[in-house]
Structure 1
């Protein structure tokens, strides 16, 4: 399925994982395009994170007096990762030339003990992409809930990125957060910095101000997050992509800084915009 407006075009895989397959501006890749025929989320251009973001340490956490243990949910991962929605089935609820709304229903089970419904709305305008997530607790119990987007940006045209945050979470060898440090510990992104580096960055920035600028040879692009005070930055050495993930919570949040409880029938939402600067 494709939707488009002006210079922007979005291609998505609406049934599996709510995945975006490609996002282009004037025919040039803004997000890394997904290989033809692939159904692997780690090869996608973007997917939603819900009802938790990033990793939960060994899948174990306590919530309202009960201990829960989640199994690993992807090959090669020691810890459950990115929630359940990115691996689940979705339905098309509404669509038009410029927009689509997808819905995912989760039934309580071993991978997440609470039922919920997640809506993802994608809208393309002449200025770019607007994406929204809304999660509704359809269970009878209060649940922890956090949301995020996982865009994989095409790195080829990008000469640097710039953003402001209050601090960065340092991480152990499993990339689980351990302690906060000054935001410029891994590089002064506030001044703008190149992505060409020998070390791996896979860290969460707290107190993100909601804007990241991608300096591109064909015209700058802005990533903007709403209700997303955390930005997870993933910059692997010598790859043709990087990830900048707007999130409502940090990795392993249920064991570190638990999210606000989501009551039965209540909703929580975030938004992301990728647009021309």
Structure 2
């Protein structure tokens, strides 16, 4: 069964959403050429019914992996079973594996909501707005459980990658990972991983959290004649994933590093009690590049 799709359009771009598939973005494309600004999702990807085959999905109530089978809070231990057939650790929260509901819709804006009881009770909302080639995304979570819990937020967008894709995203350090791909210690940036000035993505695979980010980045696609000027509020970290020999990469604005629940001071996480909220915003502005 094919998921029901929702569409937003402005004079430059078209956004397609699949609320039932984890509140995911299916496609974001240019009107005049149909060119994909996020990784293109075809019919086969839709029929797979997995947000990991689509263009972007939300990370709630945490980003990436958590070790030790769960985490502790002042009100006790939360068990987290593995939730992916391809990873032995719980990954990316629980919101991406549940259907979201449409609670508001207009010509330029859509708001989705999820009421979840996994791994604890929370309410998440995603708001999408499209105007003049700018995709504005807002994510908010409200803790509903009687027990306090740590929360983190993010998005997992997939971007097209060519041999000439360049990235600008200034960070200060990155988190090295252990054999389980969990953050272990901070380290200085290698020159090929320092994107303070725009540069090509490196040939080696990166799958790490970067810290000290100012929330601004540029994704420059000169081959396709455009760039995306991106800005985030509420994310002091990003995760960069550059799988080898693939036609995509991931630049994920997140509120915390991988396995922050078990790092000293729980960096970037928020301890929320019943009724308290936290939020994250991300905007992507399409800009045509001059020819030649």
Q: Does residue 77 of the first structure (1) align with residue 87 of the second (2)?
A: yes
- Which blocks of at least 5 consecutive residues in structure 2 are unaligned? 1-5, 288-292
Q: 2:210 aligns with which of 186, 190, 205?
A: 205
Deviation at 1:186, TM superposition (A): 5.0
2:257 maps to 250
Question: Does the alignment pair 1:46 with 2:52?
Answer: no
1:104 paired with 2:114, answer yes
Q: State the distance in 1 between where 2:235 and 2:202 align.
A: 26
Alpha-carbon separation, structure 2, partners of 1:266 and 1:63 = 15
The answer to whether the aligner puts 1:267 opposite 2:259 as a matched pair is: no
Which of 162, 181, 195 lines up with 1:156 in the alignment? 162
C-alpha deviation, 1:157, in angstroms: 8.2
- The farther-off stretch of 204-213 and 152-161 is 152-161
Q: CA 1:99–1:156 in structure 2 vs 1: closer, same or farther (change >3 Å)? A: farther
Checking the alignment, whether the CA contact within 8 Å between 1:15 and 1:92 is kept in structure 2 is: no
Corresponding residue number in structure 1 for 2:286: 276
Alignment of 1:178-257 (within 5 A): 178-184=184-190, 187-197=193-203, 199-217=204-222, 218-256=225-263, 257=265
Change (3 A) 1:97 1:65: closer
Residue 153 of structure 1 deviates from its aligned partner by 0.6
Query: 1:57 maps to which residue?
Result: 67
**CA deviations over 1:59-117 (Å, ceiling 9, x no partner):** 3322216233211001111100000000012111011222110000112xxx51x2000
Q: How many Å apart are 1:273 and its aligned residue?
A: 0.5
Judged with a 3 Å threshold, the aligned counterparts in structure 2 of structure 1 residues 134 and 65 are, in CA distance, closer, same or farther, namely closer
Residues 208 and 124 (structure 1 numbering): CA distance in 2 closer, same or farther, change over 3 Å?
A: same
Report which stretch shifted further, 212-221 or 143-152.
212-221
- The corresponding residue for 1:90 is 100
Residue 189 of structure 1 deviates from its aligned partner by 1.3
More off after superposition, 237-246 vs 176-185: 176-185
Q: 2:67 & 2:191 partners in 1: Cα distance? A: 24
* Count of aligned pairs between the two proteins: 272
CA contact (8 A) 2:73 2:148 kept: no
CA distance in 2, matches of 1:52, 1:165: 21
Give the root-mean-square deviation of aligned CA atoms: 1.6
Q: Secondary structure at the match of 2:52?
A: helix
How big is the shift at 1:4?
0.8
| TM-score, normalised with respect to structure 1 | 0.93
- How far residue 196 of structure 1 moved from its aligned partner, in angstroms, is 4.7
What's the TM-score, normalizing by structure 2? 0.89
Check if 1:169 corresponds to 2:185.
Answer: no
| CA distance in structure 2 between the aligned counterparts of 1:191 and 1:224, rounded to whole angstroms | 16
